[in-house]
Amino acid sequence: MEVIYEDNHIIAVNKACGEIVQGDKTGDETILDKVKHFIKVKYNKPGNVFLGLPHRLDRPTSGLLLLAKTGKVLPRLNKLFQTKGDVKKTYWAVVDKRPDVHTAKLEHYLVKNEAQNKSYNTNQSTEGAKLASLTYRHVASIERYHLLEIDLHTGRHHQIRVQLKELGLHIKGDLKYGAKRSNKDIGIHLHARKITLIHPVKKEPLTIIAKPPKDPVWDAFMKIFDAGKFSPVKTV
């Protein structure tokens, strides 16, 4: 866990693959626990530390997680995340094939299987089906993998993983949705890259960016990014 932004009202961290946001049956230490400890030590706070969670990331996903530091700010952030267009969330996904179309908007109806903790593409009339919408753009390629930048329009369970699978694209390491091999860290190459919103207190535009984890594949794409060669698409 890395703190990448903090003020009196909010704190943003860069979650590592495998870190869990909230407690579950594993009993593993959570991001909330770690951030509360960080705040308690940094500011020498007595008693319990408040921390609110307006959104979540799946355990195998890395990247930007935004948290509320006060009870006053949490409902404001909740409203922002729940209102279409108020928060722009951008992800990076490393996939095993180059998409046939450079950029496209994808819309599917998804239904969640609670027992499997998995979502499926279905039709609009299926009970419990919800519309999932995103726009992807192919931004770079290396020898075996391809990087997509994804803007989410909805926040459905596993929607990026499911919707890319429907195109025949599998996120590196994502066995649950069709990847051939797992990653060594049991994470997947899906990264919450950027959040843009109006600050809930300061009322000013705020953009926060999280660097992807360090590994050979992400490092190769960051080399292209740092060289300013993301557009047009370059292959190395």
| Token couple for 171 | 């996120």
Question: Is omega for the bond preceding 232 within 30 degrees of 0, making it cis?
Answer: yes
**For residue 69, what pLDDT is reported?**
97
Domains of the chain and any CATH numbers: 2-226 (3.30.2350.10)
Q: Burial letters for 18-48: b for 16+ Cβ neighbours within 10 Å, e otherwise?
A: ebbbeeeeeeeebbbeebbebbeeeeeeeee
- Give yes or no for residue 208 having a pLDDT over 50: yes
CB contact at 8 A, 66 and 12: yes
DSSP assignment string, 44-109:
T--SPPP-B-SS---TT-EEEEEEESSTTHHHHHHHHHHSTTTEEEEEEEEESS--SSSEEEEEEE
Q: Give 16 or 85, the one with higher predicted confidence.
A: 16
Nearest to 162 by CA among 178, 144, 184: 178
Give pLDDT tens digits for 71-90. Answer: 999 999 999 999 888 999 99
**For residue 184, what pLDDT is reported?**
86
| Token couple for 14 | 């860069």
**For residue 132, what pLDDT is reported?**
96
Give pLDDT tens digits for 151-170. Answer: 999 999 999 999 999 999 99
| Token couple for 43 | 């500011």
Q: What is the mean pLDDT of residues 198-208?
A: 96
pTM to 2 decimal places? 0.93
- Give yes or no for residue 233 having a pLDDT over 50: no
Q: What is the mean pLDDT of residues 207-218?
A: 96
**For residue 231, what pLDDT is reported?**
60
**For residue 234, what pLDDT is reported?**
39
For residue 204, the tally of other CB atoms under 10 A from its CB is 7
Q: What is the mean pLDDT of residues 9-13?
A: 98
Cα(99)–Cα(97) distance, integer angstroms: 6
Q: How far is CA 123 from CA 15, 59, 153, in A?
A: 34, 28, 19
**For residue 230, what pLDDT is reported?**
72
CB contact at 8 A, 31 and 62: no
Give pLDDT tens digits for 98-133. Answer: 999 999 999 999 999 999 999 999 999 999 999 999
Give pLDDT tens digits for 26-44. Answer: 778 999 999 999 999 999 9
**For residue 185, what pLDDT is reported?**
81
